[in-house]
Chain A
Amino acid sequence: MSGFAFNDLSASFGDKRVIGPLSLEVHPGERVALVGKSGAGKSTLIKLLYERLTQDASLVPQGLGLVNALPVFHNVFMGQLDKHPLWYNTLTLIRPFRKDRNTVARLLNELGIPEKQWVPAASLSGGQRQRVAIARALYRNAPILLADEPISALDGPMAHLVMKALTDQFSTSVVALHDVDMALAYCNRIVGIQNGQIALDQPVSELQAADIMALY
């Protein structure tokens, strides 16, 4: 399975409904951009999808969820902890294997931070931290990508580099983006969220930037 269809997605904070109830179906090969004002419920929707997809999704959350005390290598390696036996993971904590070092190094190279592999995550800049979380999602290599504002801290060329790396690896994805041009450039379907509901759902080919601006 690399697409999904969920009904009755909804979440509330106390009495206040933040999202849904709504249904969302995503077919294999669809790259969905979630757009909408901040507070519209995009992050909550991503969280709901991750709860249902678990095993099948690579997640880049807005908070990134890095372990600050560990080096970049280990933060990325955490994406595949389930693939190795305990002794292997424990040894890796002390002294990583060459094979994994090379794989992670290639990923970091691709994302423009090759020199940071052994630096603790705590000492990275905001943009570098974001790329570590993305490297972890790439390394995890699940069939579907769920990402919440993955390029919010990256400048122009770097943002394009990252979006290209993500689209190259994940054919199916749901990505919350505040940058409408990036959404139009790297996704093939736009889902607009307004007040917790789907207010717009169109293939990119049938949309103009102006249609989306109506949501903001």
Chain B
Amino acid sequence: MLSYPTVRASLLFLAIAVAGLFVADIAITTANPWRDLGQFFIGVATPNFFSTEGLLTALLRTVAFGFVGVALGSFFGFLLALVYRFLPVRIFCAFIRAIHELFWALIFLQFFGFHPLTGVLAIAIPYAGIFAKVYSEILEESDPEPSRLLPPGTSAVAAFLYARIPDCWVQIRTYTAYRLECGLRSSAILGFVGLPTLGFYLESSFSQGMYSDAGAMLILFYVLIATMPIWVRPKLLPAYLLAAPFFLGEGFPIVWGNVQRFFTEDIVPFPIRNGEGLTGLSSWLGDLMITEALPGIWNTIVLTQIALVATGLLSLLAFPLISKHFGGPVRRTSGHVLLVIARSTPEYILAYILLQLWGPSMLPAVVALALHNGGIIGHLIGRQTNTIELRPDAPTGFTRYSWELVPRVYRSFLAFLFYRWEIIMRETAILGILGIYTLGFYVDSAIQNIQFDRAMILILITASLNIGVDVLGRTIRRKLALQTMPTC
């Protein structure tokens, strides 16, 4: 067994995660965690759809921010995809997508305030970076033969329109629709930093212990996501796109003085603003590194590694739930419902809920990340096992699982897992806003203390960390010869 590189890599990551468990803070600190959890489930089971009139507005705003953000992101992402072969463009895109939507929102909040532009840009910017990468990959894979056959002298644009775009149109459309779903999730969690989307109302009803209201919101959100194939139709899309900007709400007007101050004063490192020169700057940077950046990086990495392995274990446990090789239709349907709920709840919301119930530690974050990501990978792998035809006399039960199925899907399982490594790290960093000591915690505290210079540097460090993990993940996937399509 140990001679397989995939097995060796898995065991190495498992060992790192186990070591991480020893240094991580994974306690449950609330007095009555299980009673709170029970009350929450009772709340979800007895949803109250009529308590706040704000609920429908929040739902509408969530959809509007999602649509406008994803539309702008896909438009600019497409333009960037056309020039993606240039290294500076690739670096730029890697950079803007390494910064999480919530960090972008925190940045824009400082100078645009609660203007709709804040929410729209927070989604559009990182999404443009992701769209650029995936669109360029799709375009690259189109059949080159038709372009070669065009009469010489055909303009590049005409060649592109006739011989490239039609060939990858379906893939581009499928991926964009899929990202729209991700966009709705991103839009929902923007509420946690104060924008008028679902997260805002979820947080306020939670903090007042109104679990039935929170349950109603979650159920509406699932229904919204699950019914997307019904209400997102190609013919209706132009109407949605035209209407969406009008449903973003008024917000507060932009104070342009704030914008100017932000760029010319707030984010300029304090010692330079104070005229302390390079010596002041280096001691300021040293202090920032030791007191905030390094602890943040350490906690982010530890939590990421634990969550990554937990995600892997959970997906391996979850995929039989929807695999046709086990059990009957009843169990498979309930398995599907379970995985849909796990993957359509944004990990931020899961972490928020668990954190309220169990108190601040790494445990709620690990469970939230594992549930969400494990739900996604479990779904993808389960679907893949349904394309496998087993011989009629194949073993059943656990032997079927361990001898017939896991060996066949293990490589793609690892591919998805390493693909999501960077995503898990991005989320881990952001969960700090909820009070876990990852990088997001230090970013958030710096912003609370109106030290935007520190916040910006910490965000840059977070972005570099994400880019580093992305590169590492890609190297490992290449070394192990694992291939995958993007997931969000």
Give A contacts to B, CB under 8 Å.
Answer: 54-55, 59, 61, 63, 65-70, 74, 78-83, 86, 89-90, 93, 136, 140, 142
Contacts and interface: CB of A to CB of B under 8 A. Distances in A.
A60 to B, nearest CB: 9
Given A79-B151, A89-B158, A65 B145 contact: yes
Contact of A89 (B146, B152, B161, B167): B161
B166 interface: yes
Given A82-B153, A82-B154, A67 B166 contact: yes
Given A67-B167, A69-B169, A89 B162 contact: yes
A24 B167 CA distance: 36
Contacts of B146: 65-67, 78
12 contacts: A59-B149, A61-B145, A69-B169, A78-B149, A78-B150, A78-B163, A81-B151, A81-B155, A86-B155, A89-B155, A89-B162, A93-B161
A70 B162 CA distance: 8
B148 interface: yes
B170 interface: yes
Given A68-B167, A86-B155, A81 B162 contact: yes
Interface string B123-157: 00000000000000000000101101111111101
B28 interface: no
A63 B155 CA distance: 23
Residue of B148, B152, B161, B166 contacting most chain A CB atoms (<10 Å): B166
B159 interface: yes
Contacts of A83: 151
Given A81-B154, A82-B154, 9 more contacts: A59-B149, A61-B145, A61-B149, A65-B143, A65-B148, A74-B162, A89-B158, A90-B158, A90-B161
A86 B149 CA distance: 18
A31 B364 CA distance: 78
Nearest to B170: A69
A80 B158 CA distance: 11
Interface size class on chain B is: 20 to 34
A54 B150 CA distance: 10
B152 A54 contact: yes
A90 B155 CA distance: 11
A191 to B, nearest CB: 24
Contacts of A79: 151
Contacts of A74: 162, 166
A63 B145 contact: yes
A79 B149 CA distance: 8
A103 B136 CA distance: 36
Interface string B445-478: 0000000000000000000000000000000000
A93 B160 CA distance: 12
A1 to B, nearest CB: 15
A46 to B, nearest CB: 13
Contacts of A142: 151
Residue of A68, A82, A136, A140 contacting most chain B CB atoms (<10 Å): A82
A61 B143 CA distance: 14
A86 B170 contact: no
B166 A55 contact: no
Contact of A70 (B151, B158, B166): B166
Contacts of B159: 81
Residue of B154, B157, B159, B169 contacting most chain A CB atoms (<10 Å): B154
A65 B144 CA distance: 8
B463 to A, nearest CB: 37
A81 B157 contact: no
A86 B80 CA distance: 22
A100 to B, nearest CB: 13
Given A65-B146, A67-B167, A69-B169, A55 B162 contact: no
Contacts of B169: 69
Contact of A81 (B148, B150, B166, B170): B150
Contacts of A70: 162, 166
Contacts of B167: 67-69
Ranked nearest first, the 10 interchain pairs of A and B with the lowest CB-CB distance are A82-B153, A65-B145, A69-B166, A82-B151, A81-B154, A89-B158, A65-B149, A82-B154, A70-B166, A54-B152
A80 B167 CA distance: 19
A86 B152 contact: no
A136 B114 CA distance: 57
Nearest to B149: A65
Contacts of B149: 59, 61, 65, 78, 136
A55 to B, nearest CB: 5
Contacts of B151: 55, 79-83, 140, 142
A11 to B, nearest CB: 16
Nearest to B164: A67
Contacts of B152: 54-55, 82
Nearest to B156: A86
A32 to B, nearest CB: 21
A61 B157 CA distance: 24
A68 B165 CA distance: 11
A67 B157 contact: no
Interface in B320-363: none
A61 B155 CA distance: 22
Contacts of A136: 149
Contacts of A65: 143, 145-146, 148-149
Nearest to A81: B154
